[in-house]
Each structure stands twice: as structure tokens, then as C-alpha cells.
Amino acid sequence: MKPKILMTRAVFPDVITYLAEHFEVESNQEDRIFDDAELVRRMHDKVGLYCNTSQRVSADIIAACPSMRVIANMAVGYNNIDLAAATRAGIPVTNTPDVLNETTADFAWALLMATARRVTEAEHWLRAGKWEKWTYDGFLGADVHGATLGILGMGRIGQAIARRAKGFAMRVIYHNRTRLAPHEEQGANDAQWVSKEALLAQADHLVLVLPYSAATHHAIGAAELARMKPSATLINIARGGIVDDVALIAALRAQQLAAAGLDVFENEPALHADFLTLSNVVLTPHIGSASAPTRRAMAYCAADNLIAGLQGKMPPNLLNPEVLPRK
């Protein structure tokens, strides 16, 4: 008899077929979001959990699912999973890094350009039938070429974003807890490490690429926004909760900041309604990795992690290797 697994969200049908070669699969192609009680009920006889960031896997859920042996998250971020609780329970947890670096970096630039040049604001105005003549001051935005690009969180995606700045002749500055090695800085368009305070003060366009954790919660709040240039733009492609959305709304409304481009929000998908009243913000529904090849690669990466883990092998993208027996 094949081991049983649960897939909590809809996914490409061929991925289900691929997993069905190894497991008895319970899938959720109707794509309902399971509450905690339903997740526990569905996991009662399952050994594997295939999920994404919309599915919370808390310590209580882990404790209530004693048969669970592997959790495969179809995402790079894993703040939806209580990793410490899974580790205590001896459950390997995996994610899907690297396969989405370039696609997400592409989207960061799409959001940056749309924000700097007021693309969505201008499109809404045009669609409303308001375009009657060209004017010298119509939708004046910010230049990207020759500007200073700031990156907060210089991991793989941050470095991919920085490489793209070369074509715009931009100065790149960044802040990370750990400074990159010299060859990594050189490869990231000669990026310069600066303090967080200097990053906020100097960046013309600031891109957030931090992982979410208790330590990075509201890493950008009212005090940080006050240090930025009034002409600056803020781009968040990382995670909701890194930015204090209430503070950002106040800064945008007061024109303390020129504009923001946001792909992620606190409490998404229930974003703060006041964002919808602002013209100087570009809003997208967490689609940074949403190209067809990349989402497919993520889905198969998560599947391979689950297969390896349930076969007793080292999963390719294991987040908590301490759960494996020492050799």
C-alpha cells in the first residue's frame, strides 16, 4: 500500500500525477483554504503534507498530526510553518529556493518601473476617459537610470535584482546582517554595503527582499519611512509584515514618500482597505514568482522534496537538517 499524502491547495494536474506514482494522494483541486480543524482531520492518516504559504502549520497542528513525517512547502518563505515545533517532533521541513530567483527579480523591476513612472495611475486615468491633451507636467515620475538603488536583504534574489541595475547605470547600495564577500559584491553590480540608516537616507528606490521573522516584523515602520527621501519609492516583494502597512499608508497620504509598489501585505489577502484609496501605490496580489515555468518548477521542486523525505533520503532543500539521524 502506498503512503498517503495531503496536498492543501490546487496545483498543476501533472504534478499530482507525478506524486501519485509514489503515494496515495488526496488533493484539493477545488482550492479551498482549510482551517486548522479540517487540516488536522484530513491529515489523520497521512504521512506527508504538501502545502504553501497560505496554509498555517502551527505547533498545535503538528502535535495533533502524529503520523506526519515530512512537510513540503511550495515556496521559499516558510513563516507559515512552526519550524521549531516541527524540528522538536523530528519532522523534516523543506522549501523551494533558487528556482524562482530570476523570475522574482524580474518582477521586482516590473514593480519598480511601474511605481517610479506612475504606470498604473496613468492607465487608470486613461481608462476613465480623462485624456484630452498632452501636458508638460502630466504624470511626472522619477528617473530610474542613474539613480541609487537600495536593497534591504541581499540574498540570492537581492543579488539578482542588483545585477539588473547595471543596464540602468545605477549605483547599488545594500544592507544585510552579514556583508557579502567582495566577489559577491562585484557580481552584484559592485554593490556597496551601508548601514540601514544610510540605506534609508540615500536610496532613490528601495527594494525589500528580507525573509519574514519576528526579528524583521515591521522592519520598515514610521521611523524608517521618515528617514527616506520624499522623492523615494519603496518596493516590497518580500513578505507582508516586514512593512508596517498603517505607517506606510500614512506616509503615502502625507506625501512623505513619493510612491510604493507592493506585492505583499499584512494579513493578505485581506489587505488594508486604505491602500485602495491611494493613487501613489501600485498593488499586485503576491505574484512575484508567477511565471508559468517558475511556478511549475516550484511545484516539482516541492514534490521532489516530499518524495525524497518520505523515502528516507536527504531532501534537496531541507530547512532543518538536525532532524536527520547523525551518521
- Residue 32 phi, psi dihedral angles, 5° rounding: -75, 150
CA distance 137 to 176: 38
The SS3 of residue 4 is strand
Judge whether 280 and 253 are in contact, CB under 8 Å. Answer: no
Cβ neighbours of residue 266 closer than 8 Å, sequence gap 6 or more: 240, 241, 243, 244, 245, 272
The SS3 of residue 83 is helix
Cα angle, residue 212 at apex, residues 152 and 223 outer, rounded to 5°: 55
User: 322: which DSSP letter?
Assistant: G
Question: To which H or E segment does residue 105 belong?
Answer: helix 101-116
Catalytic pick among 185, 239, 266, 295 = 239
Catalytic pick among 286, 295, 322, 326 = 286
| 218 annotated active-site | no
| 239 annotated active-site | yes
CA distance 26 to 7: 6
Catalytic pick among 121, 224, 266, 268 = 268
| 286 annotated active-site | yes
> HSE on the CB side for 224, CA within 13 Å?
22
Torsion angle of C-alpha atoms 150, 151, 156, 161, degrees rounded to 10: -40
Judge whether 43 and 63 are in contact, CB under 8 Å. Answer: no
Hey, what amino acid is at 83?
A: L
Question: To which H or E segment does residue 226 belong?
Answer: helix 222-227
Active site residues: 239, 268, 286
